[in-house]
Amino acid sequence: MRRRIFAISVVAVVLLGSTIFLTVMSEQRKAQTAYMKDLFAMDTFFTLQAYGPGAEGALELCARRVQELENRLSVTVEGSDIRRINQGLFSDEEMADAKIDADAGIAEDTFLLIKAARELGEETEGALDITLYPVLREWGFTTGDYKVPDEEVLWELLQKVDYTKIQLDEERQSVLVPAGTELDLGAVAKGYTGDCLTELLKERGVTSAMLDLGGNIQVLGAKPDGTPWRIAVKDPFGGSKMIGVLEVVDKAVITSGSYERYFVGEDGKDYWHILDPSDGYPADSGLVSVTVVGESGVKCDGLSTALFVMGKDRAVEFWRQHPEFEMILVTEDGKVYFTQGLEDSFECGKGWLAEEIPESSGD
């Protein structure tokens, strides 16, 4: 009898043990299952990848959120907040006529992003200026109908370019711009979108995700196996040998480069899409790409554009005064510079000459 009880107990323990083992294995497998979502939005391809039980549903919500953001922030979507601002609905003349009522206001997203971009404009002393739209249009960067504008036309259009003239009313969450001012959030919208999606995934219990928003990368947590994500930094000269690999956890890795959008003028010169707001011409700063690594997507996005305009020396100076981000700069002559904070996480690719930028200038 005792033997029988013993045998039954052994069988029960083994059964229970294997059930627990299988459950744990199945949970682990679920946590490791990758869910993917591909989208075309904001004029580029998005690939969203998330892991774990809630990931599939969360990615569907992300796709909807991207659509919502595009409908609010796009400069081309009819009826978007930016389109309405650019049509003069929020210009001071119209406001003076009290033609706007509270319901016709802008979404909180639009308000917050304009606010963040305006602040980054101030921090970068105007290297980032979201009122450049009329100038960008004249170059054809908005339509693909490229041309080198007349100098006089550029000068005329530049009179309307001044981010400091954007007035924001915190209480009413409203915006007011001078008549003729037009905005373009192309330099910051994808970074803001990445922040929104990361937040949404977190709320849904996702702890591991990688979002590729047209080359802007934002990662949530580490890889499901607990190791850091490995992000390749592209060769801005179009070759196949990447600049290197960055190991990151909970970070945005955002690159601005002259190679991303450009045209060749009748004079045989390249003209690219990042303009220097001080003269309205493509920023000829000696840089071909700037990669910014940090916590906030919107900041990294705004900074990658602004630091490209500033050029290496001003960018290094700026970084020394704002140590909350790291960067990798590539110069026209093919040299790679990376900030000290990346010394353990950036592995430079073969064939590139890389130099570390120290925290202090040493003088």
As measured in angstroms, the least distance from the Cβ of 339 to Mg ion is: 18
| Residue placing its CB nearer to Mg ion in the complex, 110 or 305 | 305
Helices (runs of H) and strands (runs of E) counted in the chain: 10, 16
Q: Torsion-angle region of residue 207: left (phi > 0), alpha (psi -120 to 50) or beta?
A: alpha
Residue 309 sits in the site that holds Mg ion (CB under 5 A): no
Please state the φ and ψ torsions of residue 223, each to the nearest 5 degrees: -65, 160
DSSP alpha helices (H): ranges in the chain? 2-32, 55-73, 81-86, 92-96, 108-123, 133-139, 151-158, 189-203, 297-310, 312-321
Tokens for 270? 């390249």
Q: Footprint of Mg ion on residues 159-188 (CB under 5 A)? A: 187
| Residue placing its CB nearer to ligand AMP in the complex, 52 or 277 | 277
Q: What distance in Å separates the CA atoms of residue 288 and residue 41, rounded to the nearest whole number?
A: 25
Burial label, 13 (beta-carbon count in 10 A; 0-12, 13-18, 19+) = exposed
As measured in angstroms, the least distance from the Cβ of 277 to ligand AMP is: 5
Interface stretch with Mg ion, choices 28-36, 58-66, 96-104, 293-301 (CB under 5 A): 293-301
The b-or-e profile of 280-317 (16+ CB within 10 A means b, else e) is bebbebebbbbbbbbebbbbbbbbbbbbbbbbbebbbe
Tokens for 361? 């200038």
By Cβ distance, which residue is nearest to ligand AMP? 186
Q: Which does 291 bind (CB under 5 to 8 A by kind): Mg ion, ligand AMP, none?
A: none
Q: Footprint of Mg ion on residues 187-206 (CB under 5 A)? A: 187
Would you tell me which residues interact with ligand AMP (CB under 6 A)? 128-130, 132, 136, 141, 184, 186-187, 256, 260-261, 273-275, 277, 301, 304-305, 309
As measured in angstroms, the least distance from the Cβ of 17 to ligand AMP is: 54
Q: Which does 275 bind (CB under 5 to 8 A by kind): ligand AMP, Mg ion, none?
A: ligand AMP
| Residue placing its CB nearer to ligand AMP in the complex, 105 or 277 | 277
| Residue placing its CB nearer to ligand AMP in the complex, 51 or 139 | 139
Interface stretch with Mg ion, choices 72-80, 115-123, 195-203, 300-308 (CB under 5 A): 300-308
Q: Which does 194 bind (CB under 5 to 8 A by kind): Mg ion, ligand AMP, none?
A: none
By Cβ distance, which residue is nearest to Mg ion? 305
Q: What distance in Å separates the CA atoms of residue 43 and residue 41, rounded to the nearest whole number?
A: 5
Q: Which does 184 bind (CB under 5 to 8 A by kind): Mg ion, ligand AMP, none?
A: ligand AMP
Tokens for 72? 């609010």
Half-sphere exposure of residue 259, counting CA atoms within 13 Å on the CB side?
Answer: 15
Q: CA nearest 304: which of 211, 179, 216?
A: 216
Interface stretch with Mg ion, choices 42-50, 86-94, 276-284, 301-309 (CB under 5 A): 301-309
| Residue placing its CB nearer to ligand AMP in the complex, 51 or 133 | 133
Residues of this chain that interact with Mg ion (CB under 5 A) are 187, 301, 304-305
